[in-house]
Chains A and B, each alone.
Chain A
């Protein structure tokens, strides 16, 4: 389950009942938090039409905007590592393959 804060969205934190109804329902669900990215940096990525990694590697863009993207992407990747996203996905894929084979 992903909480995407990139546009400062909130998730019913002010209303525990509603919050629980969404986020406590699914058993064993992992929660991934995507933090907010500076607006101008986000806009730069969209205007450039390139992947995040390409932007922070390309020195033709503002160093500061690239810096914000770099820092934000680091936070996102740490979140992926924290929930062991790659392991979760590969386990699921293996299960699907086995089911299909049987």
Chain B
């Protein structure tokens, strides 16, 4: 059964690896594609997804049953809305433990939706082990490893067992001159250019967005193809 909607979790057990930037880009990407989007922010502190895109983001917490129901019941709902979760590093373990216990990935799939985990690759042991654990605990989810080029050229493929043609999404490095505009909330990549006076900055930003949006389009195409293959038994 080809999937109707997607639930994308942006995750890493490490702080400050680019999760919120990726979640912002993904939310704006879906909005630009004309999709209805609901994003969920499981972060505390400054520079959170909810601060950047307040109109589209709900703050969430899963410490108690009320918070868990507000998040998971909404995520699983068949409402034709694309869901994005910015999973703060502090919520990584509890979120995936609950997801595993509740059978979240299997239920998502049984409803004809796709569960995608965008996982930011870092070389530390904790991240590598958490990635392996996710793969085995949520086999129905599509794991999409992401390399944030701000941390250098190494993708750490071998550590993660990403051999051969395994695809890694590249989050390209953004020029510091542009970054200073996009890092002040609220800011939407889908809205007006950051600096109307500086054409170069706008061109640089559009070029950068074009690259990452292409990566997203390819990702969802891969998800769709994987789904089609499994539905016809290939």
Contact = CB atoms under 8 A, between A and B. Distances in A.
B107 A63 contact: yes
Contact of A62 (B73, B101, B103): B73
Contacts of B101: 67-68, 70-71
A64 B65 contact: yes
Contacts of A45: none
A65 interface: yes
Q: On chain B, which size bracket covers the interface?
A: 10 to 19
B102 A71 contact: yes
Interface residues of A, number: 11
Contacts of A67: 72, 98, 101-104
A63 B65 contact: no
A38 interface: yes
Contacts of B65: 38, 40, 64
Contacts of A65: 69
Interface in A36-55: 38, 40
B76 interface: yes
Contacts, number: 31
A64 B103 contact: no
A4 to B, nearest CB: 21
B68 interface: yes
- Most chain A beta carbons < 10 A, residue from B72, B98, B101, B102: B102
Contacts of A63: 72-73, 76, 102, 104, 107
Interface in A55-78: 62-68, 70-71
A56 to B, nearest CB: 9
Given A64-B72, A65-B69, A70-B101, 10 more contacts: A40-B65, A62-B69, A62-B73, A63-B72, A63-B73, A64-B68, A67-B98, A68-B101, A68-B102, A70-B103
Interface of A: 38, 40, 62-68, 70-71
15 contacts: A38-B65, A62-B69, A63-B102, A63-B104, A63-B107, A64-B69, A64-B72, A65-B69, A67-B72, A67-B98, A67-B103, A68-B102, A70-B101, A70-B103, A71-B102
